[in-house]
Amino acid sequence: MLPIQKAEELLATLPGVLNVRIIPAENGEVAEVHVLTTTEVSPKQTVRNVESALLAQLGMRVSHKKISVATSEGPAAEAMRASRMTPMSGVAVVRAPEEPMSAKSTKRRLYFEDVEITRSRKSGMTCSVTLRRGEEMFVGEATGQSSDRLRAETSAKAACAAIQKSEADGRALVFEGAKTFEAFEREFVFVALTTRSGHDSALLTGSAEIKDGIETASVLAVLDATNRWVEF
């Protein structure tokens, strides 16, 4: 029998890891390893950490192709930073080097302030999202229908509109899609955005656990994607 519980407990001690779920195959091997992390460690580094920890501590050799990493930057991430969980005895963890925050990325850093929903029979749902950078407030709005999928999309579009108002360098942010999904016995919102500057473009993705409603999770997922905006 695979030491699934021990392996999950081990991986939960790695830097940035919020939750772990290992799915065994019928032949006794590991079929899938799903890891939810904060953004303090890159997904590639997390995959390397998972491979090394399982091999060194439990003698389990798992291919990187079986390891999937999702990132979140919600309340659970903040709680982890505050507590800084102590690794298990005898386990060596590899911390990714912290990258210095540039003046430009500091300027972009936005925080969730509020989301307001109004509904009417004629126009459906209107979502207003307020984001904050220091003392500045940026408000974006979007309209849509009230189904769960469209609520996630409408809230994400409103968040994108608020972010666009905060940008002064002419870079465009285009909403691509939003979906809800289940993992680790919890529900999440996953969003995809495209940022364009001149002839260059990049796909941005983010996720957040649904705790205080789909609308709030959608906004946090957008911030998860855009607060890690990289330079072309």
Three-state secondary structure along the chain? CCCHHHHHHHHCCCCCEEEEEEEECCCCCEEEEEEEECCCCCHHHHHHHHHHHHHHHHCCCCCHHHEEEEECCCHHHHHHHHHCCCCCCCCCCCCCCCCCCCHHHHHHCCEEEEEEEEEECCCEEEEEEEEEECCEEEEEEEEECCCHHHHHHHHHHHHHHHHHHHCCCCCEEEEEEEEEEEECCEEEEEEEEEEEECCEEEEEEEEEECCCCHHHHHHHHHHHHHCCCCCC
Are 195 and 229 within 8 A, CB to CB? Answer: yes
Tell me what pLDDT residue 73 has: 65
Are 51 and 43 within 8 A, CB to CB? Answer: no
Q: Among 17-26, 32-41, 108-117, 197-206, name the one with the lowest average pLDDT.
A: 197-206
Domain architecture of the chain: domains with CATH: 4-83 (3.30.300.30), 104-226 (3.30.160.270)
Q: Confidence class of residue 150 from pLDDT cuts 50, 70 and 90?
A: confident
Condensed to tens digits (0 to 9), the pLDDT of residues 62-98 reads 888 899 888 876 555 555 545 444 443 333 434 434 4
Mean pLDDT of the chain: 77
Q: Is residue 216 pLDDT above 60, yes or no?
A: yes
Are 9 and 45 within 8 A, CB to CB? Answer: no
Q: Confidence class of residue 157 from pLDDT cuts 50, 70 and 90?
A: very high
* pTM beyond cutoff 0.75: no
List C-alpha distances in Å: 63 to 7, 33, 43, 49.
15, 10, 15, 12
**Residue 211 and residue 194: Cα distance in Å, rounded?**
26
For the record, the structure tokens of 192 come out as 């995809």
Q: Let me know if 127 is exposed, middle or buried by CB neighbors in 10 A (0-12, 13-18, 19+).
A: buried
Q: Is residue 148 pLDDT above 50, yes or no?
A: yes
Q: Is residue 121 pLDDT above 50, yes or no?
A: yes
Tell me what pLDDT residue 228 has: 58
For the record, the structure tokens of 4 come out as 């699934």
Q: Is residue 158 pLDDT above 50, yes or no?
A: yes
Q: Is residue 56 pLDDT above 60, yes or no?
A: yes
> In this prediction, what percent of the chain has a pLDDT beyond 90?
9
Tell me what pLDDT residue 155 has: 92
